[in-house]
């Protein structure tokens, strides 16, 4: 009986030894360690029209006191522009009140030769567009004289001719 235990113990030891030797001899992978994939870059959200830099040109041009309304900009700063009808020199004026949201625009600007210009409108397209002749804003433009009299008020559609900047002379 003692001999059987001893044989059983030796057989068990040999089995364990064979497993240890076989496990140690298993070839290791020759493939280099795989690096994790680079993080997937999320596609950029298109810019909102309210955040886009550019110049807004009216579909209808009007004149007040020898000055022709040529448009306005929202970014990088809110400006309204008129040009002298005789010389054609465009002169921008800063807006003292500018509320620009994703869907609406509200500007109040003093233009010394014309009066106070108010622009209240809604974006027709939420996302900025590269289309040169697509109306992107519908707004009421109101011009009041220094005495408070309304000298012009009308709704108009505005486009953003990319590449045309303030004072480019091409408006």
Domain annotation covers residue 110: yes
For residue 123, give its domain range.
Answer: 49-159
pLDDT at position 130 over 60: yes
Per-residue model confidence as pLDDT tens digits over 136-152? 999 999 999 999 999 99
Domain annotation covers residue 29: no
Residues present in the chain in total? 171
Domain annotation covers residue 21: no
Cβ neighbors of 51 (< 8 A, separation 6 or more) are 75, 128
More confident position, 141 or 86: 141
Domain annotation covers residue 54: yes
The per-residue pLDDT of the chain, averaged, comes to: 81
Query: How far is residue 53 CA from its own chain's centroid?
Result: 9
CA angle in degrees (0–180, nearest 5) for 78-84-86 = 165
Q: What is the mean pLDDT of residues 90-110?
A: 94
Cα separations in angstroms, 47 against 50, 59, 75, 88, 164: 8, 24, 13, 33, 19
Domain annotation covers residue 117: yes
Among 47, 52, 78, 71, residue whose Cα is nearest residue 139: 71
More confident position, 12 or 152: 152
pLDDT at position 82 over 80: yes
Centre a 10 Å sphere on the Cβ of residue 133 and count the other Cβ atoms it contains: 9
Domain annotation covers residue 23: no
Domain annotation covers residue 24: no
Give the chain's domain count: 1
- pLDDT confidence of residue 163: 44
Domain annotation covers residue 132: yes
Find the helix or strand (DSSP H, E) in which 149 lies. Answer: none
pLDDT at position 165 over 50: no
| pLDDT band for position 53 (cuts 50, 70, 90) | confident
Tell me the whole-structure pTM to 2 decimals: 0.67
């Amino acid at each position: 009986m003692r001999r059987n235990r001893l044989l059983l113990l030796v057989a068990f030891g040999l089995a364990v030894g064979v497993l240890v030797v076989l496990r140690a001899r298993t070839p290791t992978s020759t493939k280099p360690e795989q690096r994790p994939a680079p993080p997937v870059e999320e596609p950029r959200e298109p810019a909102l029209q309210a955040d886009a830099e550019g110049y807004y040109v009216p579909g209808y041009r009007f004149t007040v006191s020898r000055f022709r309304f040529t448009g306005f900009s929202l970014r990088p700063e809110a400006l309204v522009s008129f040009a002298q009808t005789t010389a054609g020199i465009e002169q921008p004026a800063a807006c003292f009140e500018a509320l620009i949201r994703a869907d609406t625009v509200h500007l109040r600007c003093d233009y010394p030769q014309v009066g106070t210009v108010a622009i209240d409108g809604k974006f027709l397209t939420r996302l900025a567009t590269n289309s040169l002749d697509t109306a992107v804003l519908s707004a009421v433009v109101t011009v009041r004289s220094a005495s408070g009299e309304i000298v012009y008020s009308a709704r108009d559609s505005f486009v953003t001719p990319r590449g045309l900047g303030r004072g480019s002379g091409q408006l």
